Structure 1
């Protein structure tokens, strides 16, 4: 069948290219490249406020990737900002939460990446630890600047994640926050310091989130699993 259409949420921020320096909707190329390598067609989804837009978008795509990015607004989970929490973008939070609600209603496959995992936890009624180094005593998960931390992750036997990436995997991380509570999800991977590095929902629906950045290594397992789930969803939807 035709390659499934995979929606990817985007940043909206000041950016520079060529002669331009202006606000832009953007996403690192690795995301689209990883989707394409797995056999999907990437479609970028910039933040929108038009009523009903999330429902309309979800009805047209075969799977959703909630991408990485800025901190989630602590107000979304009833917390005051930590001194290291910054840069949250309310319009993006609202848009992606609406997409997650629409996806849940239709059974759309979803993969959360880094911030995407955190937002999925918040969408389910969970909370975040706003500065992970306060808990683990080191900066390995986010060394600073544009560098990724290298973290060894152990997955849970029998989980969907384990079938896709194996019992252990070396991953690239860039997060100073992490998931504290995650109603509706089971933690299925942890770093050696105890940080939750992945979670998934029970049942047949592909609803999985990782705290790391699989797109930076083109981890075929995760994206291939999402694309396969997207194809199955498209068949059920009669596409």
Structure 2
């Protein structure tokens, strides 16, 4: 079988302008996400927000799933009131991505959550979030600056899926977030930390991985290449069973 795997990438709805068209509603995701998939051997399939009941049908046509970064998840999803610095403006995306993740977890589809995507994964598994990291860390190195990613070290946990993909004791990663995992979701384990103790990666059964940083903004393809390998293996297994 020589078909490159289809990797679904979640998108979001925003007002955008292009050419002669101003302030039109558009389904967007930064181009670095699609390039990250393509450069790693997959075919990127963009997934605009849709009715949650359609998630299983969408997932049945995919080989793997990526939940992209973006605005904060509504804290009502984990039973909390919003912090003054929490930005909740994507209700249709919140509902769609939680449905996609529940469906992917139930079906055993390989998945990767990036930044917000890792946070949504944790919440779908019953966890909670720190809504504003500067409230709980001594020196905030996670947020970058407006319009520019920062960089800080992370420490993969040996013996985990991520630790096998990134065997360095410490590596620098692109970062831009102000929220993080608080209570860990059921069935997940921590697979990387920042030096200040912030959870930087979580993982679950099969190929279920979330990273708090933005690997698509760097040159290291190892995480996405591993997702593509897992998707290809799942594809071959489906052919063998079918």
Compute the TM-score of the two structures, normalised by the length of structure 1: 0.95
**3-state SS of paired residue (1:182):** coil
- Pair 1:44-2:20 in alignment: no
Map Cα deviations across residues 69-117 of structure 1 (whole Å, 9 max, x no partner). Answer: 0100010000000000013311111101111111112110000000000
1:169 alignment partner in structure 2: 171
Determine if the alignment matches structure 1 residue 191 to structure 2 residue 194. Answer: yes
With 71-80 and 89-98 compared, the bigger mean Cα shift is at: 89-98
Cα distance in 1, alignment partners of residues 152 and 39 from structure 2: 24
Question: Of the candidates 10, 15, 27, which is equivalent to residue 29 of structure 2?
Answer: 27
Q: Using the alignment, how far apart are the partners of 2:121 and 2:21 within structure 1?
A: 34
- SS of 2:191's partner is strand
Q: Alignment partner of 1:97: what SS?
A: helix
Aligned residues: 236
Determine the C-alpha separation between the residues in 1 that align with 2:139 and 2:82: 21
The 2-side partners of 1:87 and 1:146 are apart by: 19
1:58 corresponds to which residue? 59
1:138 is displaced (CA, Å) by 2.8
Cα distance in 2 between the residues matched to 1:73 and 1:80: 9
Q: How does 1:53-202 map to 2 (within 5 A)?
A: 53-167=54-168, 168-183=170-185, 184-201=187-204
Query: 1:207 and 1:71 mapped to 2: Cα distance?
Result: 21
User: SS of the counterpart of 1:52?
Assistant: helix
Structure 1 stretches of 5 or more lacking a match? none
Q: How much has 1:19 moved relative to structure 2?
A: 2.0
Q: Which runs of 5+ in 2 are unaligned?
A: none
SS in 2 for 1:146: coil
What is aligned with 2:215? 214
Q: 1: distance between equivalents of 2:78 and 2:88?
A: 16
CA displacement, residues 194-235 of structure 1 (integer Å, 9 cap, x when unaligned):
10000111x4x1000000000001421100000000001111
**TM-score, normalised by the number of residues in structure 2:** 0.94
